[in-house]
Amino acid sequence: MQAVSPRGLQDCLNQVERLNIFPTAALKILELSRSPNALLDQLEEAVALDPVLAARVLKVANAPLFGLRVRIGTLRRALQMLGFDGARNIAISLALRGISDGGSEWGERLWRHCEATGWICRVLSRRTRNVNADEMFVAGLLHDLGLQLLLILEPGVSTELLEVHGPDDPELILAETRHMGFHHGQLGAECLRRWKLPPYVVQLVEQHHLHPLHPLQPSTSARPAQPRLLALLQLADTLADPLLEGADQGTLEQLALHHPAEDDLRIARGAMRATLELLIKHRGGIVPGASGSAQG
């Protein structure tokens, strides 16, 4: 593969700002995310600009895996139950769904992967002490935002690298850094930093492919204050595609129990088994149409 002339991370960020790649509702929500005085009413107005987005927010709030105990019938009630920060972050995540579709096979595949990763993060968070499940859900939904953007900014090299490595291969970030001068975690993180998402979500997105045992790693910002959060995201990232493809309980258990993240998470085997059973039960509700799924 021929290396492209690195435009640099800053050039790509500037192009993201210039290109009209975000839906109107997403732009309005991003504008609100920059304002310390934004109100829930304004967020509701922004989400309501896009009926499909409003339906997605309602669907998430009512999903069995989300854990709310009452049925939510209106967008306002859903936003109230999620709280302003949680609702804003989830709305941003859902509003950015499919930005890289554009006829690319990888666009839809990446979103399905990210949505599954988000739900796995949320369910695993219930088994991990002192973890904000809403923010881990958002981290899972957005962890490959940089990849989705690169499919727009550098479609040729990004598609070729994805075909060689796949989205969950740690070698992908090394190849991206070699060919472009930065990797997709850095691009996604810088966008989220500009959009005022929680700092540790930004760090997790930047570092989701990194592992202390990896022999070669591009430079990064400081490691997350809680390495367990990175381990949780990495485990969810690994489980997402097998879950979507219809992997059975035993296969998922083996992947989880032999994953390096298990050393940091230390989730009891029984708790992990119950978590995976729940994910399999609601596989079809995580991403409709997932292989071998049961509707839930």
What string of H, E and C letters represents the secondary structure of 184-232? Answer: HHHHHHHHHHHCCCCHHHHHHHHHCCCCCCCCCCCCCCCCCCCHHHHHH
pLDDT reported for residue 2: 43
**Angle CA 115–45–187, to nearest 5:** 40
Tokens of 231: 């381990």
Sign of CA dihedral 198, 100, 61, 115: negative
Q: Which CATH architecture best describes the domain 1-19+109-209+218-287?
A: Orthogonal Bundle (1.10)
pLDDT reported for residue 212: 52
- Report the pLDDT averaged over residues 228-250: 94
Which burial class, exposed, middle or buried, applies to 96 when counting CB atoms under 10 A from its CB (0-12, 13-18, 19+)? buried
Q: What is the pLDDT of residues 93-145, one digit of tens each?
A: 888 876 766 556 788 888 889 999 999 999 999 888 888 898 999 999 999 99
Which burial class, exposed, middle or buried, applies to 51 when counting CB atoms under 10 A from its CB (0-12, 13-18, 19+)? exposed
Q: What H or E segment, with its residue span, contains residue 110?
A: helix 105-125
Checking if the pLDDT of 292 tops 70, the result is no
Query: Which residue did the predictor score with more confidence, 206 or 291?
Result: 206
Binned at pLDDT 50, 70 and 90, residue 7 comes out as low
Query: Which residue did the predictor score with more confidence, 218 or 160?
Result: 160
Binned at pLDDT 50, 70 and 90, residue 184 comes out as very high
User: What residue spans define the domains of the chain?
Assistant: 1-19+109-209+218-287, 23-95
Contact 75, 54 (CB under 8 A): yes
Tokens of 266: 């230390």
Contact 265, 228 (CB under 8 A): yes
Checking if the pLDDT of 12 tops 80, the result is yes
Residues counted in the chain: 296
- Residue 137 sits at φ, ψ, to 5 deg, of -60, -45
